[in-house]
């Protein structure tokens, strides 16, 4: 049965989203360079285990294994002609998992960037990108997702293209961008800029926010930037579990479940309504995050010094808009 994100947002003060897709699939045996989307057909039990892990940890919403499921990304694996079926399969596995959960769980169809540079700097026009996003969206909707979830965007025009493609389907959607360059996206957008961009769309998302980036502290600084813009829409926070480190030939994230529990509570108090994790976030992190959100009363909006003291120093001295990071540089307390 479908679960309406709108109804959950109306009924709850916060929702717990899921954690990482790549991190958890790599732990199941995905090799670097493989397309995770191909696992929807070749390793469906492992994809189901990914979804079940989030559901079992208490997530109210999880993303499908379809982040790179657009034609540009799949072309790298000679699978650009299989956009519809790979996305439909990712969604169908998720639909089955959610329907077996015994409680309302939202299936969100993950849609990442194309990996192309948008015109006029690159070859991909807004119109062509919109066509790609529409094709992916239709596959996800055919498989049974409740909402489409555009994530990890950096270019404003690519987000507009995703909005245009999704608008042709009429489906509800959410959007997040990655603010990983001194408080801005790679293409220079600030938190306030994203809030204004979303507000100007004809087919507005149900919620918007930030994911990935360079650490929990920086992501919450971005969330404070959203809150300062007084958006009409709910805010999403999906931060990485600490900072990536290269250990024994593999990338590891140093954020503990305790750190992510602290992050979740701070994210809520900063103004986020949908709270989850991104890279490095496992079911163990999610369990701790849900327990902390349930046990900790809502507090005042934290300042930057409080965020830095509890989660670690910011990676840059500016939030991208000219504001200072706040607080002296500190070593991360819970690496």
313 with 217: CB under 8 angstroms?
Answer: yes
Q: Average pLDDT of 105-123?
A: 95
DSSP, collapsed to helix, strand or coil, labels residue 219 as helix
CB distance 103 to 55 below 8 Å: no
- Six-digit token pair at 154? 């950096």
| Segment 213-231 mean pLDDT | 95
pLDDT at 28 over 70: yes
Contacts of 118 (CB under 8 A, 6+ apart): 124, 125, 126, 129, 155, 157, 158, 161
Whole-angstrom Cα distance, residue 178 to residue 254? 19
Q: Give CA 329 to chain center in angstroms.
A: 27
Residue-wise DSSP of 4-73? -HHHHHHH-S-EE----SHHHHHHTTPPTT--GGGHHHH-HHHHHHHHHHHHHTT-SEEE-S-TT-SHHH
Phi, psi of 236 (to 5 degrees): -105, 135
For residues 24-34, give the mean pLDDT.
94
- Model's pTM, two decimal places? 0.94
Residue 249: the pLDDT is 63
Whole-number pLDDT of residue 75? 97
- CA Rg, the chain, in Å? 18
Contact 132, 72 (CB under 8 A): yes
Q: What band does 243 get if pLDDT is binned at 50, 70 and 90?
A: confident
- What confidence score (pLDDT) does residue 252 get? 65
End-to-end CA distance of the chain: 41
- CB burial class (10 A; 0-12, 13-18, 19+) of residue 133? buried
Helices (H) and strands (E) in the chain, counts: 13, 10
- pLDDT-derived band at 242 (thresholds 50, 70, 90) equals confident
User: Per-residue pLDDT tens for 255-298?
Assistant: 999 999 999 999 999 999 999 999 999 999 999 999 999 999 99
Q: By CB neighbour count within 10 A (0-12 exposed, 13-18 middle, 19+ buried), where does 166 fall?
A: buried
Rounded to whole angstroms, the Cα distance separating 83 from 72 reads 10
Which has more pLDDT, 131 or 326?
131
Q: In this predicted structure, what is the pLDDT of residue 323?
A: 58
Predicted local confidence at residue 335, as pLDDT: 31
- For every residue of 144-183, DSSP letters joined together read T-SEEEEEEE--HHHHHHHHHHHHTTT--EEEEE---BTT
**Residue 3 — very low, low, confident or very high, per pLDDT cuts 50/70/90?**
confident
pLDDT score of 253 more than 90: no
pLDDT score of 142: 98
pLDDT value at 330 more than 60: no
Q: Average pLDDT, whole number, for the chain? A: 93
Structural domains of the chain, ranges and CATH numbers in brackets: 5-311 (3.20.20.330)
309 pLDDT band, cuts 50/70/90, is very high
- pLDDT confidence tier of residue 327, bands split at 50, 70 and 90: very low
């Amino acid at each position: 049965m479908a679960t309406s994100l709108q109804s959950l947002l109306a009924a709850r003060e916060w929702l717990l989203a899921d954690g990482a897709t790549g991190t958890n699939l790599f732990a199941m045996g995905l090799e670097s360079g493989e397309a995770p989307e191909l696992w929807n057909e070749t390793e469906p039990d492992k994809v189901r285990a990914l979804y079940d892990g989030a559901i079992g940890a208490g997530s109210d919403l999880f993303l499908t294994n379809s982040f790179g499921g657009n034609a540009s990304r799949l072309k790298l694996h000679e699978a650009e002609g299989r956009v519809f079926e790979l996305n439909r399969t990712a969604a169908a596995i998720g639909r089955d998992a959610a329907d077996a959960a015994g409680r309302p769980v939202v299936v969100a169809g993950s849609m990442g960037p194309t990996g192309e540079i948008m015109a006029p700097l690159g070859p991909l026009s807004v119109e062509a990108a919109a066509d790609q996003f529409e094709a992916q969206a239709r596959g996800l909707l055919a498989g049974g997702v409740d909402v489409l979830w555009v994530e990890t965007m950096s270019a404003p025009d690519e987000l507009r293209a995703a909005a245009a493609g999704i608008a042709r389907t009429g489906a509800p959607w959410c959007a997040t961008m990655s603010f990983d360059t001194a408080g801005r996206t790679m293409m220079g957008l600030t938190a306030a800029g994203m809030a204004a961009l979303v507000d100007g769309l004809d087919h507005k998302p149900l919620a918007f926010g930030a994911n990935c980036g360079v650490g929990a502290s920086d992501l919450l600084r971005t969330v404070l930037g959203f809150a300062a813009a007084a958006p009409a829409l709910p805010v999403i926070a999906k931060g990485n579990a600490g900072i990536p480190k290269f250990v024994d030939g593999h990338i590891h994230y140093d954020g503990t479940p305790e750190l992510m529990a602290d992050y979740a509570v701070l994210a809520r108090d900063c103004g986020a309504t949908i709270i989850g994790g991104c890279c490095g976030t496992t079911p163990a992190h999610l369990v701790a995050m849900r327990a902390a959100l349930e046990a900790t009363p809502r507090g005042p909006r934290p300042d930057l010094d409080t965020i830095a003291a509890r989660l670690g120093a910011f990676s840059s001295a500016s939030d991208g808009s000219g504001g200072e990071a706040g607080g002296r540089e500190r070593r991360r307390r819970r690496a």
